[in-house]
Chain A
């Protein structure tokens, strides 16, 4: 397998993990919205309510920065990161 194929395979793996986490916060939680809302969550808000107001939104912000850092590491590992002068 060439260097580039390995790089792409790893990038694709990272994409799958990212999309799985995205799925939990954008869809998974809301499949059980009614049940989870009975429980008191962070800062005393009902759980599902808190996720729609802040929780999921904040999770997406963190997820994107995490993804960007991981992808940069993968690019570096296979020598595909950009040079500064480009």
Chain B
């Protein structure tokens, strides 16, 4: 890939790619009509897309540090936006988010607000300034702004804790999808997922990851939007669902009050397979206290602004100006998917519970529902379950249970869409999980290879040797993540939320104050990073082991406590110790203006 020429041709390259992918979908649709089996279609979709990503990864191979760490700093604004959106939207966003909204309604939608609002903080507080700094990694900024190996190392510790928590969940998600689509056991599927992930990043580093992420975004957004629009039109709910589902939302409310939320006894619930849930909360009513909603949204917003795999995407833009605009494009591309998730949840719920629709199962006899093809398929996959608790022979609202993933995975089939759409959705989920895992593994490996190995252990190392170390670390971290993922310790969504809390506990204030408060110094930053991380971790462990918590801070929002401790520690310690020297203060002044060379470019 020759650089300048390639950059100019990007719209054409990805235009052809998108056209090719749509052609592939049509080809599969024709093959389905001609009798291709569902299983073969699933395998074809996942194998074809992963092959394309691997090809892009191979074409992007590089031996230059600048290309490996920051994609040569020449990624155009809009394309960086797409790459960031893919980097950002994980398997959890793709597979689990609509399900969470389906079951928990308003209280859960705090995540939608939190995971988008955080970008305002990224654009206004951090991204342009870190781009001006010209660093390779986030700890690179901390290490240079505050000075000293301990500050740099502390940042690496926080980064590793947060990103590693996150990455196991993503490898888990790739494994789940690969195991369903390829029909192999989860323990092996996890490693197939991992190898696909490493193929994208190992040869080309950030450059390879950037161009595969753009390709993955295109796949995942088509795979998410096409079914939503198709289902909405098929149900007659509206040609453009986002603007036209008000009647459907109102209808769900009507049905909810008609059926009522009957509480099941503990003995009845014990017979429901693990991980499945029933509809127990109103769809569009406000069902959480203001603080419960706001604290979760706030934790996710501050976490967004502290997660290094997102921040480092803005190191790849050609200029400070481009970095700012690029944040806007990132959020626009994320918005396309996030604003569709509640629509999918609405369509899915209505098609299942409305007795007036042919797909509705509430009010039908148990035997009739048990005879439906899709019910049998998803019941077998352990994602759907009905049981006649009250013994009246018909399915009631409180007698129907579903897994969170089923909302995205099963709705196309329930609505009667052809199987080709289900294959497409599997490819989209795979793309979402792979792209996030790639960004995270690269963030950890780069921080350790650049900040620990090159900057602390062996500053004289040659580029070739540095890149070998970076690649070895990439593989080691990937395998460590896959091994933990194969143990299946926690659910996907819980660990994703923890990652945000860890990141904000240790990094939010040291990063923000590094730009916005000249007086912040090394001792303060170290106290802020280590104190915040320790306090957050302590709170999490305390609540998990039966502690009552305080101020309504839960195990999902422990970062609020962690970051508060971090802020206090950082300010107090900074003020108690000497102010930063003249050179550092001058450096901060230069970071604040876009013109001129990057800070690190001068040294």
Contacts and interface: CB of A to CB of B under 8 A. Distances in A.
Nearest to B326: A68
A71 B594 CA distance: 10
Nearest to A53: B342
Contacts of B298: 26-27
Contact of B123 (A7, A27, A64): A64
A33 B293 contact: yes
B286 A27 contact: no
Given A60-B120, A68-B123, A71-B324, A49 B593 contact: no
Contacts, number: 145
B324 A43 contact: no
B246 A31 contact: no
Nearest to B323: A68
A61 interface: yes
Contacts of A15: 124-125
Given A68-B325, A75-B594, A52 B106 contact: yes
Q: Among A19, A30, A79, which residue has the most Cβ atoms of chain B within 10 A? A: A30
- Where chain B touches its partner, the secondary structure class is helix
- Where chain A touches its partner, the secondary structure class is helix
A48 B284 CA distance: 9
Interface residues of A, number: 45
A58 B339 contact: yes
B285 to A, nearest CB: 7
A30 B319 CA distance: 36
Given A22-B120, A25-B117, A71-B324, A4 B112 contact: no
B142 interface: no
B279 to A, nearest CB: 16
Given A64-B331, A71-B324, A54 B120 contact: no
B593 A7 contact: yes
Interface in B187-234: none
A1 B301 CA distance: 35
Interface of A: 4, 7-8, 11, 15, 18-19, 22, 25-27, 30-34, 37, 43-46, 48-49, 52-54, 56-58, 60-61, 63-65, 67-68, 71-72, 75, 79-83, 86
Given A53-B109, A54-B342, 8 more contacts: A4-B592, A26-B301, A44-B250, A53-B112, A57-B116, A61-B116, A68-B324, A82-B320
